[in-house]
Structure 1
Amino acid sequence: MLSFENWVRDIRREFHRNPELSFHEYGTQARIISILEGLGIECRKIADTGVIAEVRGGGPGPCIAIRSDTDALSAHESLTKFNEDYISQKPGVMHACGHDGHMAIVLGVARLIKERRREFCGSVRFIFQPAEEIPPGGAVRVIEEGGLEGVDAIIGLHIFGDVDVGTINILAGPFMANSNRFTVNITGKGGHHSTPDMCIDPILVMSEFISSLNPLVSQKVSPSDHVLGFGTINAAGQFNRSPDEVELVGSFRTFDDGDIDVIEGTMSSILDSLMDSYSVEGIEGVPSYDLNIERGYPVLFNDPVFTGSASRLLKNKFEKVNTHVEPIFGAEDFAYYLQEVPGVYMVIGTRNVEKGIVEGNHSSSFDIDEDILVMGVDMLYSIAVDFLKGPGAYLE
């Protein structure tokens, strides 16, 4: 019979071999259902390709949810000295962000909860959520379809390749950033470079917008509290002609959802000023602009009371628990759950220089130190059971 540790490891490797993209996790869904039913746990489908299940304890009590994401990334996995036995069997698709490990960990928790259900009152709900990688994400669908009905709290974790193996990072308050995409279209008047007085060059206008934006945003939002970058710039033209239009696409992230309005307002102010300064008498209607902000995931805010109790518990069980860490500019749709119920989202490190496991998340060579899988199970199981035995310490 497989040891528990090997059982969890083998599940992780099976998922790693068979990655699926967001909202296409049909095989993953079927396998999760098979494993849960094999454990004697009833479950159902949710959010098209997700799974939800619940284990009830020895008596009535609160309900805590544990969430795992299930989707993979568009990446062609590189062969390494570790992954020969479990490298992705789907070219161009890879579990490069640890979601295979998340599923194995949460299934491990489900097994322990089922085996020990007489030891606690209340219930544990397991949410295997699709499409974390692609906004608007799967969390919204899970919530809309009743996935949090009756839930009093929720917990989850993420494996990080740039955090040392066995290290737990947990932070009350804003822990992960919001994510936002912006598109700017500037319309000018195209024409030959030999007659600049008959043109309004939108590339020149856009270049001034680009050079002005970061300094002005940094005057209003601290540089330590936001990141902003430009991704693509496109214009249809040629070397000796100014185009009629240019498009810029970029993104920004902050730790305060209110700062989104500040940054959008700064963009609009700069563009309004540029439209005035580049206007030409006799050329009507241009330059003009269109600004579109697409809001992604909101700030992930860990409930302070819940996080405080979870932190104390973890510090009593594990050696490396950091509660004074910097927020992360990564974004997570787990944030939507925390807008509905209190809870905590944590990071567990997998970077192990001695073993040569050093690649960061989303790398084509990303892998995990599988020794952390059982540690992740212990983290989530311990918090869940401690909450059920004494919810008052976790809830305001």
Structure 2
Amino acid sequence: MCRRSEVISLRDDQSAESLKAWIIRLRREFHQYPELSFEEYNTQNRILKVLGELGIEARKIADTGVLASICGTMPGPCIALRTDTDGLQVQEETTERNSEYISRNDGVMHACGHDGHMSMLFGAAKLFMENRDFPGEVRLIFQPAEEIPPGGSERVIAEGGLEGVDAVMGMHIFTNHESGSVGLRPGPFMASTNRFEVTLKGKGGHISLPKQCIDPVRMAVDFISSLNSALEEKLDKEKYILGVGRIQGGAQFNRIPDSVGILGSYRTFDSETTEVIDLTIKECLEKVKERYAKPGEEFSGLPDYELDILHGYPVLVNDPFFTDAVNLKLQESFPELTIYPELEKTFAAEDFASYLQVVPGVFISLGTRNQKKGIVEINHSCTFDIDEEILSTGTQIFYTISLDFLRHPEKYLNRQKYHGPQKYLEKA
């Protein structure tokens, strides 16, 4: 992937404040023009323009994504840094802070920090271009469509985005811990996403003649109730979360409908729990079908159901060896930084999980909650915002950890599990 390109010399006297201002300016620009998943064409063009101004080679990937490389002055390993680029279908509301950079794309908003993620990655890229005295390669992944399963990560991987990569790192801005603090968790960190869609088929008719009907509304209520009860008996509540987001059926107040649709989702931290829920959904549907069965030719083949289960993002599992090394390096390089080395697992989900199934690495949580500034709204809120002071912190973390990995990969890669170029682990 990496080819030598002419080194662009940036000003040696560039201060931290000017870099910070540049990062914030980029973040606000991206915030004003968000685009939905796999529609990030203008975002892609702007990314390519900024990379070109920095002298960084880049190409398009996954339709609306961008892949770029920064080569050091000597051979070495490769670390990939990933950011997501898509916005959400949310109408942003005006607040005391966002008047200068509120979304100009009606009904679309960067309500999950992706604008900040992009600007931090640009900041790290700029630092690497100013300081090329490192071994190996820094791979920059500007990934589209994080917000819709199965996510853009699978496309990036399928199109060679991780070829030659030895480790991967990502970061996400959250309001569940204070501004500027960092959260890590070795092992399972974020949940898998799974969607289930059920169509319950009954026999419709006049509401005054229930014996001549099979009521799919009652079947739906029974199914949801029995499913929750069955799961509570089988699983600890800490292992999963399940909810129904939509029940749809019928049109007339005095008519029993022929069918009812149910759309829901569940999240888990391991495949065994997912399998238990998959099986329990089917078992409950079969029992409901049996309970509402009626004799007679007019009820032949009824009641019945259709079930569609979609397994989305896998569980996000941080490599424990790599994560512990990141924790130690952060403590060494940023003694003033508040670090949570065992952040609680979250039922939030991220398609960064797919990268971690291919190469070792870490996904870091960067806190943005600032009560004094009124930055307290959770991700996906129509008034979500970022404490822009943290963008410099995230940039420095990207740069510092990546540089240390390139110079000392043996500190981050578990030799017993790593199957890449062993020459990088000779010191281990």
Taking structure 1 as the reference length, the TM-score comes to 0.97
CA distance in 1, matches of 2:253, 2:101: 50
360-369 vs 63-72, which deviates more? 360-369
CA distance in 1, matches of 2:163, 2:357: 14
CA distance in 1, matches of 2:70, 2:337: 30
CA distance in 1, matches of 2:314, 2:141: 20
Query: Conserved in 2, the CA contact under 8 Å of 1:185 and 1:247?
Result: yes
Aligned: 1:231 with 2:231: no
Q: Figure out how many residues of one structure are paired with residues of the other and give that number.
A: 395
**Equivalence for 2:276:** 262
Q: For residue 314 of structure 1, give the secondary structure of its aligned residue in structure 2.
A: helix
- Residue identity matched to 2:184: I
1:222 is displaced (CA, Å) by: 1.5
- Residue identity matched to 2:18: S
CA distance in 2, matches of 1:219, 1:151: 44
From 28, 44, 53, the equivalent of 2:68 is 53
Aligned: 1:89 with 2:104: yes
From 315, 325, 329, the equivalent of 1:299 is 315
- Residue identity matched to 2:324: G
From 193, 198, 202, the equivalent of 1:188 is 202
Query: Conserved in 1, the CA contact under 8 Å of 2:58 and 2:68?
Result: yes
Aligned: 1:348 with 2:362: no
**Equivalence for 2:27:** 12
**Equivalence for 2:353:** 335
1:72 is displaced (CA, Å) by: 0.7
Structure 1 spans left out of the alignment, 5+ residues? none
Q: Percent identity?
A: 53
CA distance in 1, matches of 2:248, 2:65: 38
- Residue identity matched to 1:201: D
Query: Conserved in 2, the CA contact under 8 Å of 1:73 and 1:93?
Result: yes
CA distance in 2, matches of 1:56, 1:192: 73
CA displacement, residues 18-70 of structure 1 (integer Å, 9 cap, x when unaligned):
11111111111111111111111111111111111111112101000000001
CA distance in 2, matches of 1:390, 1:151: 15
**Equivalence for 1:98:** 113
CA distance in 2, matches of 1:245, 1:19: 39
**Equivalence for 1:310:** 326
1:163-174, aligned counterparts within 5 Å? 163-174=177-188
**Equivalence for 2:92:** 77
From 233, 252, 258, the equivalent of 1:244 is 258
Aligned: 1:157 with 2:171: yes
Q: For residue 81 of structure 1, give the secondary structure of its aligned residue in structure 2.
A: coil
CA distance in 1, matches of 2:200, 2:234: 24
1:237 is displaced (CA, Å) by: 4.0
Aligned: 1:321 with 2:339: yes
Give every structure 1 segment of 4 or more consecutive aligned residues whose post-TM-superposition deviation is greater than 3 Å: none
**Equivalence for 2:223:** 209
3-12 vs 256-265, which deviates more? 256-265
From 398, 401, 411, the equivalent of 1:383 is 401
382-391 vs 196-205, which deviates more? 196-205
Query: Conserved in 2, the CA contact under 8 Å of 1:139 and 1:336?
Result: yes
**Equivalence for 1:271:** 285
From 3, 6, 30, the equivalent of 2:45 is 30
- Residue identity matched to 2:201: T
**Equivalence for 2:300:** 284
CA RMSD of aligned residues (A): 1.2
Query: Conserved in 2, the CA contact under 8 Å of 1:18 and 1:88?
Result: yes
Structure 2 spans left out of the alignment, 5+ residues? 1-13, 415-428
Query: Conserved in 1, the CA contact under 8 Å of 2:243 and 2:265?
Result: yes
CA displacement, residues 56-114 of structure 1 (integer Å, 9 cap, x when unaligned):
11210100000000111111111111111111111111111110000000000001111
Query: Conserved in 1, the CA contact under 8 Å of 2:239 and 2:273?
Result: no
1:238 is displaced (CA, Å) by: 2.1
1:204 is displaced (CA, Å) by: 1.1
1:5 is displaced (CA, Å) by: 0.8
From 346, 359, 383, the equivalent of 2:377 is 359
Query: Conserved in 2, the CA contact under 8 Å of 1:161 and 1:366?
Result: no
